[in-house]
Structure 1
Amino acid sequence: MTSTESDVLVVGAGPAGSTVASYLARAGLDVRVLEKSAFPREKVCGDGLTPRAVHELMALGVDIDAPGWFRSRGLRLVGGGRTLEMPWSELTNLPPFGLVRPRRDFDETLARHAVRSGAALVENTKVTAPLTDDRTGRVIGVATDGGTHTARLVVAADGASSRLAVALGMRPRAGRPIGVAARRYFRGPRHDDDHLETWLDLGPAAYGWMFGVGDGTCNVGVALLSKAHADYRRLLRRWLETLPAGWGFTEENATGPLRGAALPMGFSRQPHYRPGLVLVGDSGGMVNPMNGEGIAYAMEAARIAAGTIVQALGPSSDAARAERLLASYPRALKAAHGGHFTLGRWFVSAIENPRIMRMATRQGMSRPALMRFTIKLLGNLTDPRGATATDRLAHALARMTPSS
């Protein structure tokens, strides 16, 4: 058995964990990342990155011009008997393109970036329990299958199930939406399609996607509320049977099995800080309820958390000041996304009704201007300076909506 000590211990090397580790190590902190698997490893995801996520990659310093990144020019929506193409918006704060990269490569790219930034990465290490101070209950480290690791602060970036948070009694909040995503890769002619395509007619609170990966394959899948469609396999199979045979989404063209995973939405696990422990990414339910996007928000939360942690653990910060700073992290998250996520929860509740879903699809797809505004709102793709009337309206809606 071994024992190590760090400034910050990060549990999980997904997008949130690797991002926070990169920023912290770059600031000079001693950071250790514990990953239960070994890279490369699979994760269930659509692999499509919106301009919000691309912005975070660029801010982190990831080379998005290197081989393996496939650019998208916009969204293509299919529903109500219509098809609507929309380029990514020209915004002052976000790049005008998206990216696609399989999580098998994406997660390792971010993890290796963290290592180059100065973080230590320990793979094949399963966290078995938190370590807490007997007197105060403060989290001071973790036990693993290979020893113990202590730190001044622990970051839980261990995904939707977040066994670390659960072990501390931090369970998902009742009433928050939980989605399910399932995807499969297929060889086919649409692998170099430069639009992220979304199908809206799969049923209440459900949609399908097909994203070209640019390497000869497409990522094809469905996202839905878990209580709306328990059988995601049947939902995907029925949808694929309606698609043109020439697209190649058939069993013989599949390159691997169908895989599914949970989507914890709308800040479903709180608080995002308790003494000694910070939650980032899926562990804190940081998936946008409106569109199922999680990577952008995981990386944004990691950046916010890192900035807070660097101040809190700086040489000029005493224990009381450090705790006040760390306690401000949940408020910063809610200021950034609380109103938007609340709108998202209301949106999800509405589209669970089949009549509302059909009406919204039919009305929206027949009115391109309305649908463009809707997509800007759903994807949180607006200019913070309110450059247009639609930007100002979207920001006003989020600002007036209470966060919780």
Structure 2
Amino acid sequence: MADVIVVGAGPAGSAAACHLARAGLDVLLLEKTAFPREKVCGDGLTPRAVHELMTLGIDLTTPGWFRTEGIRLTGAGRTLELPWPDGAFGLTRTRADLDELLARNAVAAGATLLENTKATAPLLDHTNRVIGVRTPTSDHHAALVVAADGASSRLAVALGLRPRANRPIGVAARRYYRSPRHDDAHLEIDFDLAPAGYGWIFGMGDGTCNVGVAFLRTAHADYRRLLDQWLAPLPPEWALTPANATGPVRGAALPMGFSRQPHYVPGLLLTGDSGGMINPSTGEGIAYALQAARLAADTITTALSRPTPGQRERTLYGYPSTLKQAHGSTFTLGRAFTAALEHPSVMRLATRQALAHPSLTHFALKALGDFPTPTTPRLPDRLAAALTKITPPS
């Protein structure tokens, strides 16, 4: 019997396992596949994500990381470059590399990793409290379980926790291309993509770019066709053509804005995509998954140190509130933003106005995208902070 079972060895699961193991807990980390394995993602890591990687003790100086200096926004015939503030930096790294690195880091911290081990169902006691998980070969028991098993979250669904109908669901598709733009130090986002979406070009620094599109599922678009249509008019010298692709187009759902709640039921905490922890405005998920993993681990470590069952449970029930304090207001603003952008004319107007006024763009990125706050905040930073503060988390 472990202290904690973590289901899913993506960024959220491996980060939670690492933090828990470092706290001295007996942690079992289950991964349904074997490393290395593919994951649909933009592979872009913002300064927020970089900070979380540092708290995990990840060595960011080894080969495989590509450093970014900011973001480039394009649309409506305009281009705006925004550096990460105060010398902060971002990174790119393929998820095939990143996920395995984080899982091995958790093992180095003391967690036990079982690959090719699918959790098929939660184990419940007579009070319906989660006390472990079932796999095809055995039952594993633990004081607590962390569900980090992705957007479909078999564990959450088995407990009746399904995505909320009033939360946005996105779709993302990406493909790798050999391209001379592989060493571009800016994450490029193009808003000339309708309906209600954007395209991205992220240099990987290894001769390839991660190129993709993201849009709301309500658009009912074919992501392969949308990607082809967006890439067709781009400059030929960028080499973003099928002949330069290194693999197929892959797509995935993006559960956004805390789409699955509550994030704690007796014995089980949700984190990462299983809890819908993707920013509705930007589609960013890794940073929020890593931060939620740390918050979950802190909650569990504190709870298990309490002397009585009642005190432990009260601590665990505080986890959803902790998450909402961290990101609830930003996600609430993001849901309102995505609702407006379902209208292409609104999106075009917003793109035109924002890129023509850098201060407005900075304000939007701070309020909607958790853009890092500089040491000396400017007026847009202060206004965005005030807006976030008065927005109720939900």
Which of 101, 108, 111 is equivalent to 1:109?
101
Other-structure match for 1:129: 121
Q: Distance in 2 between matches of 1:216 and 1:271?
A: 43
C-alpha deviation, 1:51, in angstroms:
0.6
Structure 2 residue identity aligned to 1:391? D
Q: Does 1:218 align with 2:214?
A: no
Give the secondary structure class of the aligned counterpart of 1:227: helix
Query: Are 2:325 and 1:335 equivalent residues in the alignment?
Result: yes
Match of 1:321, SS?
Answer: helix
Q: State the partner residue of 2:196.
A: 205
Distance in 2, Cα, partners of 1:392 & 1:180: 32
Offset of 1:246 from its aligned partner?
1.2
> Is the contact between residue 75 and residue 190 of structure 2 (CA under 8 Å) also seen in structure 1?
yes
Please list the CA deviations of residues 88-126 of structure 1 after superposition, one character each: whole Å capped at 9, or x if unmatched.
122xxxx61100000000000100000000000000001
Residue 357 of structure 2 aligns with which residue? 367
Shift of 1:137: 0.5
Correspondent of 2:283 among 275, 283, 292: 292
1:384 Cα offset (Å) = 8.9
* C-alpha contact (below 8 Å) 1:84/1:365 kept by paired residues: yes
Q: Give 1:232 deviation, angstroms.
A: 1.0
**2-side partners of 1:146 and 1:16: how far apart?**
25
Instruction: Give the one of 349, 352, 358 matched to 2:348.
Output: 358
Tell me, in whole angstroms, the C-alpha distance in 2 between the residues paired with 1:351 and 1:285: 20
Query: Does the 8 A contact of 1:130 with 1:141 survive in 2?
Result: yes
Superposed, 1:193-272 pairs within 5 Å as: 193-272=184-263
In structure 1, the partner of 2:54 is 58
Q: What are the ranges of 5 or more consecutive residues in structure 2 without an aligned counterpart? A: none
Which stretch of structure 1 is more off in the superposition, 139-148 or 380-389? 380-389
Contact 2:8 2:147 in 1 (8 A): yes
Contact 1:386/1:395 (8 A) holds in 2 = no
Tell whether the 8 Å contact from 2:330 to 2:369 is kept in structure 1 after alignment.
Answer: no
How far apart are the structure 2 equivalents of 1:394 and 1:382? 11
**How far apart, in 2, do the equivalents of 1:81 and 1:334 lie?**
37
> What is the percentage of aligned positions where both structures have the same residue?
66
Instruction: Give the Å deviation of 1:36.
Output: 0.1
Paired residue type of 1:352 = E
Q: Please list the CA deviations of residues 4-46 of structure 1 after superposition, one character each: whole Å capped at 9, or x if unmatched.
A: x100000000000000000000000000000000000000000
Q: How does 1:40-55 map to 2 (within 5 A)?
A: 40-55=36-51
Query: TM-score, structure 2 length as denominator?
Result: 0.98
Give SS of 2:279's match.
coil
Q: Note if contact 1:311-1:317 (Cα within 8 Å) is conserved in structure 2.
A: no
Separation in structure 1 between the aligned mates of residue 362 and residue 389 of structure 2, nearest angstrom: 20
Shift of 1:386: 7.6
Aligned mates of 1:70, 1:338 — CA distance in 2: 31
| 2:76 aligned partner | 80
Matched letter for residue 39 of structure 1: F
Q: What per-residue deviation string (whole Å, max 9, x for no partner) do you get for residues 164-206 of structure 1?
A: 1001111001110000010000001111111000100101320
Cα RMSD after superposing both structures: 1.2
Distance 1:140 1:157 in 2: 16
Is 1:169 matched with 2:165? no
User: Is the 1:386–1:392 contact (alpha carbons within 8 Å) kept by the matching residues of 2?
Assistant: no
Note the alpha carbon deviations across 1:323-376, whole angstroms, 9 max, x for none. 000000000001111111000000000111111101101111111222122222
Task: Report the alpha carbon displacement of residue 264 of structure 1 after superposing the two structures with TM.
Answer: 0.3
Aligned residue-pair number: 394
Contact 2:34–2:115 (CA<8 Å) still a contact in 1?
A: yes
Q: Using the TM superposition, give the Cα deviation of residue 318 of structure 1 relative to its aligned residue in structure 2, in angstroms.
A: 1.6
Return the TM-score normalized by structure 1. Answer: 0.96
Q: Cα distance, 1:128 vs. partner?
A: 1.1
Separation in structure 1 between the aligned mates of residue 372 and residue 72 of structure 2, nearest angstrom: 18
**Which of 65, 79, 88 does residue 69 from structure 1 map onto?**
65
Q: Which residue of 2 aligns with 1:186?
A: 177
CA contact (8 A) 2:85 2:374 kept: no
Q: Report the 3-state secondary structure (helix = DSSP H, G, I; strand = E; otherwise coil) of the residue aligned with 2:277.
A: coil
User: Contact 2:147/2:274 (CA < 8 Å) preserved in 1?
Assistant: yes
Residues 382 and 391 of structure 1 are in contact (CA less than 8 Å); yes or no, is this contact kept in structure 2?
no
Separation (CA, whole Å) in 2 of partners of 1:58 and 1:280 = 19
Q: Is the 8 A contact 2:74 2:190 kept in 1?
A: yes
Runs of 4+ more than 6 Å apart: none
Q: Counterparts of 1:387 and 1:371 in 2: how far apart (Å)? A: 15
